[in-house]
Amino acid sequence: MRNMRMNGGLLSSKNLGKWLLLLLPVVAAVYLLWPTYSYYQLNQEREALAKDSAALEQWDASNGESFLKARNGRLKLGLDLRGGMYVTLEVDVLKLIEESADPASVDEEFSKIIDKTRKLSDNSDLDVLETFLKEFHGAGKSLLQYFTVSNQSDPTEASIEEKLRRDADGAVNQAMEVIKQRINKYELSEVNIQKQGARRIVIELPDVKDEKEIRSLLQTTARLEFKRVLMNRDLIRAFFAIDNLLKGVKLDTSAVADTSALAMADTTRTDSTKKDTSKVDTAGKAKNPYAGLSDDEAARRIKRDYPLSHMLGGYYAQNDKSSYQPFDLILKKAEDFPETGIYRFIVSGKSLPQLLKILDRADVKRAIPADIDIIVAAKPEGTPSKDGTPEVYDVYGVARDPDLTGDVVTEAFPSFDQASNHPVVLMEMNTMGAEKWAQITGANINKRIAICLDGRVYSAPVVQNKIPNGSSQITGSGTPEEANLLAVVLKAGALKAPVKIIEERVVGPSLGEDSIRRGVSSSLLSFALIILFMLAYYAWGGGIADVALVMNVLLVVAGLAGFGGTLTLPGIAGLILSTAMAVDANILIFERMREELYAGKTLKVAVDQGFNKAWSAIIDSNLTNIAATIPLLVWGSGPVKGFAITLLIGAVITLFTAVVVTRAMFGLVIASGATTFNIGQKRTA
């Protein structure tokens, strides 16, 4: 009967809140960590099929979406645990300033000021332009002696300073954009590129296999080109030529392709459409070979017969973009399409990596006509996060040889059209560039010119009229951010600010595995020692503290996964430290409870007094730790920031587990009818 009453008390509605405090955090932690477990299982399956491309393709078709979802939600590992390359680049802003000066005006005094500025700014985060201006004006010099502003006939000191500042600030943004596009070609997942300080860029590249190639890639000068857009029947012939070349050739199918060939967003960003291969118009020619097949089998055969074209969606208009009509390339010949008109081709984001691999092959490049180059837009057209349409990229046919290169661009900046108030980009060219630009624009009125950076198209505006003086206004940017990006790209050919590697660390996969092994071993050892100490010194009370400790570690790791954090080796150190903080809070509580029990108080009173009197000390110690992590988060980077994030999450969760969870467990003990409880206090006779 006594046991029945005790159990009834534990499971009563009065104690429901205490049980929820114990169970809900565990359920939440399991939910947040499930993607990590799921990713590990799926990745093991995928790696086992790495040598069988057909099986891997089938696995990707069945599990690709689940795999990507699990990978995005898992607990991420830092480079020190996973292996990879960590690079810090510095943009040489002083070189930009030096190159911006008129070469005919540069004298010995100017060179001395440059040298002195470099000595002061090297190995520091000083503002290079401010340092240069301070030294420059200190020497009694005027900017008008050495610098000009291309679009001003009567520049002032202020206007020159403004231009130099705009160029200096834009140099880092331009370098970041170039680096992003180049690294994207390597299909590295979870690359982290961020600005640090005034002129540095920090790049984290997991799973890098060729450090030399990456190093060369990061320091190569950007190539900006202006190319005529050639979207006509010849481009379709090029697509079919590639299909014919690739038939029977074993392709790399490691990328998750859109094997339906068939889901694309239309130009008005409405619902995606699926091609029905059973209704292809063959114009009285051979019977459709895919008729009567299942959707999966038809898609498989189309992909085999049209290795490139199956990934492309096509749209055509006679003379007005608003009248675009979709069409497909399957079971067609180039002669089935009009010679003139407006063509548009798109590829889904899922198929893009595979398409780029095909276009990068040497034999494919030889199969394309000598005067045509097939390249892809740098930015997606779709906005899947907002309206649910698939992310798509435009595919362009452009002239193989550029009509003009970016070294003729002297200035580019975003602005607004005074008539329409729409964002535009204003571009200036030097004298030689202006002459060639007048010829190019005059010969291509109502045609498009593609602005290409490192082989990707950022914009393809229509030439409205001949531009005689090199001063162009580029419209079509939907937002100020797009206009700013285009201005950054245009300055890639004008800015002379090289980047240099000032720090580089490479962690091999085996070293990363060794770090994980050592980190886990040290964590388990410290955790075991703490658990044994608490049990030995505080008996059953220590057991309650140990349960709260396990929950603390589980919630800290789950919190990292839930907030998209990255676990690093210093982060493991932060986890161990937060574990010690959690135990420290329990020790304060237990010592207070023991004092109350020594004084002859009942268990309930001792528990209440123990928590109430220790609370102020616990909150003070944890708030101090939280305050200490804030500067590390704001000004720290890399390993320091990883340590701070783990420590911050640990401090917050410690307040919950050491006080709320532990007290809930003591509350359940008291609710069971217990009047004594061993927390290591000395027993009296």
Q: What are the boundaries of each domain within the chain?
A: 2-19+509-671, 87-222+498-505, 403-480
CA distances from 416 to 458, 472, 484, 530 (A): 19, 13, 11, 64
Query: Hey, what are 557's tokens?
Result: 């790791």
Residue 406 has pLDDT above 90, yes or no: no
Q: How confident is the model at residue 389 (pLDDT cuts 50, 70, 90)?
A: low
* DSSP assignment letter at 463: P
Q: 524 to each of 156, 466, 496, 527, 572, how far by Cα in Å?
A: 67, 73, 53, 5, 11
Query: In this predicted structure, which of 234-248, 514-528, 532-546 has the lowest mean pLDDT?
Result: 514-528
Tell me the mean pLDDT in the region 142-157.
Answer: 78
Instruction: Say if residue 467's pLDDT is above 60.
Output: yes
Strand-pair category, 224-228 with 325-327: unpaired
Q: In what order do the strands lie in the sheet with 325-327?
A: 325-327, 312-317, 342-348, 392-399, 372-377, 456-459, 449-453, 224-228, 404-405
Are the CB atoms for 348 and 258 separated by under 8 Å?
yes
Say which residue, 396 or 530, is predicted with more confidence.
396
The answer, yes or no, to whether residue 256 has pLDDT greater than 60, is: no
Q: What is the pLDDT of residue 466?
A: 92
Residue 331 DSSP symbol: T
Tokens 């589980």 — which residue?
554
**Band of pLDDT at residue 444, cut at 50, 70 and 90:** very high
* Average pLDDT, integer, range 576-589: 82
**Using 50, 70 and 90 to split pLDDT, how confident is the model at 322?**
low
The CATH code that applies to domain 2-19+509-671 is: 1.20.1640.10
**Of 185 and 520, which is predicted with more confidence?**
520
Among residues of the chain, what percentage have pLDDT more than 90? 8
Give the largest CA-CA distance in the chain: 108
Strand-strand pairing, 456-459 and 372-377: parallel
Q: What's the confidence (pLDDT) of residue 209?
A: 66
547-565 confidence digits (pLDDT tens)? 888 888 888 888 888 877 7
Q: What is the pLDDT of residues 333-350, one digit of tens each?
A: 888 888 888 899 999 888
Confidence of residue 681 (pLDDT cuts 50, 70, 90): low
- Note the CATH number of domain 87-222+498-505: 3.30.70.3400
Long-range contacts of 640-645 (CB under 8 A, 24+ apart): 640/570, 642/78, 642/566, 642/567, 642/568, 642/570, 642/571, 642/574, 643/568, 643/570, 643/571, 643/573, 643/574, 644/574, 645/560, 645/565, 645/571, 645/574
Mean pLDDT, rounded, for 620-631 = 84
Give the count of beta carbons closer than 10 Å to the beta carbon of residue 244. Answer: 13
Q: What is the pLDDT of residue 268?
A: 31
Mean pLDDT of 374-391: 69
Q: Which residues contact 198 (CB under 8 A, 6 or more apart)?
A: 125, 126, 127, 128, 172
Q: What is the reported pLDDT for 263?
A: 37
Q: Residue 228: its pLDDT value, please?
A: 93
Each residue of 16-46: pLDDT tens digit?
777 888 888 889 989 999 988 898 888 888 8
Residue 605: pLDDT over 80: yes
Q: What tokens were used for 219?
A: 């320091």
Mean pLDDT, residues 568-582 taken together: 81
* pLDDT given for residue 5 in this prediction: 43
pLDDT at 248: 62
135 pLDDT higher than 50: yes
- Quote the CA–CA distance of 542 and 531 in Å, as a whole number: 8
CATH number of 403-480: 3.30.1360.200
pLDDT tens column, 91-122: 888 888 888 888 888 888 888 898 999 888 88
Structure tokens at 247: 């038939």
Q: What local confidence, expressed as pLDDT, does residue 376 receive? A: 93
Environment class of 426 (CB within 10 Å of its CB; exposed 0-12, middle 13-18, buried 19+): middle
pLDDT band at 396 (very low <50, low <70, confident <90, very high): very high
Cα torsion 526, 532, 538, 542 to 10°: value is 70
pLDDT in tens, 631-656: 887 777 666 777 888 888 888 888 88
State the pLDDT at residue 560. Answer: 84
Cα separation of 501 and 200, whole Å? 10
pLDDT of residue 221: 67
Q: What is the pTM of this model?
A: 0.61
